[in-house]
Amino acid sequence: MDFSVLLSDIPTLLAVIIGVPLVLVAYIVGGEFLIRRLPDKNRPQVRPWLWVGPALVLVTGFLLLPAIATVIQSFESNAGAFVGLQNYGNQLADFPSGGAWTAIRNNIIIWLIFYTLFVLAFGLVLAVLFDRVRYETVVKSLIFMPMAISSVALGVIWKFMYSYQPPGEPQTGTMNAVVTFFHHDPVAWLQDQWPNGWGVLNNLALVGAATWGITGFAMVILSAALKGIPGELLEAARVDGAGELTVFRRVIFPLMMPTIVVVGTTLVIFALKAFDVVYVMTNGNYGTDVLAFRMYNYLYLSHNYAAASAVAVILLVAVVPVLIFNLRQFRAVEARR
Amino acid sequence: MSVATATRQESLAATWSPQWIIQRFQRALLHVAVVGLTLVWIVPTVGLLVSSFRPAFRIITTGWWTAFSPPFDFTMQNYSDMLDQSNLGQALFNSFMVSIPSTVIPVTVAAFAAYAFAWMKFPLRDWIFLGFVGLLAVPLQLTFVPVLTFFVQHGIVPDNLTNLGLPPWVGLWLAHAGYGLPFSTYLLANFFRGLPSDLFESAEIDGAGTLTVFFRIILPLSVPALASLVIFQFLWVWNDLLVALIYVGGAPEVGPLTVNLAGLTNSLGQGFNLLTAAAFFSMIVPLIVFLSLQRYFVRGILAGSVKG
């Protein structure tokens, strides 16, 4: 391995490290300088746009406009002719096993519910437990480690964890080694669509791998929120004779609620967008298809943009209830202020 | 619970009194739970680590735990094969050049926007904010074709940028910034909203301007949230393969580490044994970032900032 490039290019690296933040700070300081030149009554009207402006431009360019193009595309054929709801009709035909229904079932029922619940529960439990021990830094880093692994490597690790050999053969997968240790037949975790082809088992196996990878994320944010609760408040509750469970239920949990909503919302959206684990581990086979993977296949394998757009819009629509819930939350916070 | 509180509580109970025994038992249970959960959690990583020191044929035929029984067949081959590649140094450099601005830009821009969403009044504010959250759900794959078309039409491609004397990654930085902004803004706005309003009011009464409030009050108080955001954005960008491949391509002069490592596993066919070593190699930098920022997650950053 040749590190000379690293050394010779250090000036470039430094220029970027200093230059980029400098441009950003110059923008906001310069902007404020100009706003102060404005008449008093115009300032409050102009100022917010200075602050949200760069974010609006970037998000509009990279996400909003492509999203609008997708919605338009979803009502057109690949040749560009308006076809109404036909693309959706193709996706939603043949309930319950045809079209996109398997992907919808996996996304909305298995991924959305279990992934979100598992990650939130683990993240919260770990954050609260770790907060009470002196070696918090060590255990937190260990739980966080999977976050630093790329999604492809994560898929490979869990393929090994779940790998299956016929009964009687020595097992190479950790999960089956444990299962056979307890004298149970080895389980084909990724193929077994238990019960009755409903695909709960193998989809949960995928959810498990994804949960392992992302729990560090929930734990770190929830832990940061936990640290934000003033220590005096907790002590006061304890001095008043509240037990640890009561302190958690009545003080910690309500104060962390806004953060739990943020993490929960993000996880719901991650669950709907689940892609990497499915792509690497099962390639959507054995009834483990998900919407993002289905869309990817239309886009890059069959070049069927119309169908891909319809699938993406179904995914976007699934987020609407989450948005309504969030809107209520802001309103509630706003009302309390 | 801080350590100090815990010790004080314990010392309140006399040694060997029933209360003392219960407290001791609870502490022991806590440690068992913490250590037990952590051990279970690291099993897959340990398996990967052990596998990375095993020859390829053994990885496929036997479980990783058998490495600890004879014939103790360990090797550094996976690591040396991976490190032997010609342009790993360049790829590592490119990864830094991609990841640092792609973290700094969205976090800073999101902090500006989050301040406006949390503490300024403007028309359609809540709806724009909801729009940001909604855009979290846009699958990135959908945006590649339109954005790339725009980039090519306007010369935001590596070759052209280099000719202009700019870093070839500018388009990629902006793309990562755009993709990272919804989450960053959402997280920070909620955090800023939670800061006590008395703080700003008292600062404004003292004559502080918008910039002073932002740089001197909001940012220092938001250090834990900013630190966690920096960690995540950095990790996502560092481990990203798809977005980098789309916007800068796989050329060795511009490709980050992930592109390099993906090429390695493909070109040699068997792949996964090198991937085990590569996974650990590419984990080093993110873990350093995490460990160095972790000390900012401290309790009581708000303590004493508002009286009454």
Print the domain residue range for A48: 1-73
The dihedral formed by the CA atoms of B192, B198, B203 and B204, expressed in degrees to the nearest 10: 90
Smallest Cα–Cα separation from B283: which of B230, B227, B229, B239?
Answer: B239
- Same domain for A168 and A217, yes or no, is yes
pLDDT of residue A65: 92
pLDDT of residue B13: 65
**Same domain membership, residue A42 and residue A104:** no
Quote the minimal CA–CA distance from B75 to chain A in Å.
19
Q: How many secondary structure helices (H) and strands (E) does chain A include? A: 18, 0
Per the model's pLDDT, the better-predicted residue between A305 and B13 turns out to be: A305
Sequence-ordered strand ranges (E) for A113-215 = none
A53 and A197 belong to one structural domain: no
- Show which of residues 42-61 on chain A sit within 8 Å of chain B, judged by CB atoms: 44-45, 47-49, 51-52, 54-56, 58-59, 61
Burial class (CB in 10 A: 0-12, 13-18, 19+), B104: buried
Pick the CATH number of B82-294 from 1.10.3720.10, 3.40.1160.10, 3.30.70.980, 1.20.120.1200: 1.10.3720.10
Interface of A with B in 271-330 (CB under 8 A): 272-273, 275, 292, 295-296, 299-300, 308-309, 312, 315-316, 318-319, 322-323, 326-327, 330
Same domain, A269 and A161: yes
- For residues B283-304, give the mean pLDDT: 73
Give the pLDDT score at B192: 86
What proportions of chain B, in percent to the nearest 5, are helix, strand and coil?
75, 0, 25
Q: Determine, yes or no, domain membership for A88.
A: no
Stretch B51-71: mean pLDDT: 81
CATH 1.10.3720.10-classified regions of chain B: 82-294
Please tell me the total count of domains within chain A: 2
On whether residue A81 sits in a domain, the answer given is: no
Size of interface A-B (CB pairs under 8 A): 325
Best to test chain B binding among A58, A125, A226, A229 (most B CBs inside 10 Å) = A58
Partner A, chain B 177-196, Cβ-Cβ below 8 Å: 177-179, 181-183, 185-187, 190, 193-194
Q: Which residues of A touch B143 (CB under 8 A)?
A: 62-63, 66-67
Give the Å distances, CA to CA, from A36 to A27, A47, A76, A299, B92: 14, 10, 49, 49, 44
Q: Note whether B36 contacts A: Cβ–Cβ < 8 A.
A: no
Q: Chain A neighbours among B 189-248 (CB < 8 Å)?
A: 190, 193-194, 197, 209-211, 224-225, 227-228, 231-232, 235, 239, 241
Radius of gyration of the CA atoms of chain A, in A: 25
In terms of domains, do A25 and A114 share one?
Answer: no
- At which of A73, A105, A122 does a domain end? A73
Q: How confident is the model at residue B304 (pLDDT cuts 50, 70, 90)?
A: very low
Identify whether residues A120 and A60 lie together within a single domain: no
**CA of B86 to nearest chain A CA: how many angstroms apart?**
6
Q: What percent of chain B has pLDDT over 90?
A: 16
Interface check A262 vs B, CB under 8 A: yes
Last residue of a domain, one of A73, A107, A137: A73
Q: What CATH number has the domain bearing residue A301?
A: 1.10.3720.10
In terms of domains, do A37 and A149 share one? no
**Test mutation, B83, B104, B138, chain A, max A CBs within 10 A:** B138
Enumerate the residues of chain B whose CB falls inside 8 A of the CB of residue A131. Answer: 1
pLDDT in tens, B159-209: 888 888 788 888 889 999 999 999 999 889 888 887 877 877 788 788 778
Asked if A220 and A105 sit in the same domain, the reply is yes
Same domain, A25 and A63: yes
Identify whether residues A54 and A106 lie together within a single domain. Answer: no
Check whether residue A232 and residue A110 sit in a common domain: yes
CB contact under 8 A, B126 and A323: no
| In chain B, residues 261-290 whose CB comes closer than 8 Å to chain A | 262, 272, 275-276, 278-279, 282-283, 286-287, 290
Mean pLDDT of successive 10-residue segments in chain A (337 residues)? Answer: 65 85 92 87 87 94 90 88 88 80 89 94 92 88 87 82 84 86 85 79 92 91 83 85 85 86 88 86 86 86 87 86 81 71
A175 assigned to some structural domain: yes
In one-letter notation, the amino acid at residue B292 is: S
Query: What's the whole-model pTM score?
Result: 0.85
Mean pLDDT across chain B = 81
Residues A320 and A227 in one domain: yes
B145 burial (CB, 10 Å; 0-12 / 13-18 / 19+) is middle
Mean pLDDT of B81-104: 84
Q: What is the pLDDT of residue A116?
A: 94
Instruction: Name the residue among A288, A269, A273, A294 with its Cα closest to residue A116.
Output: A269
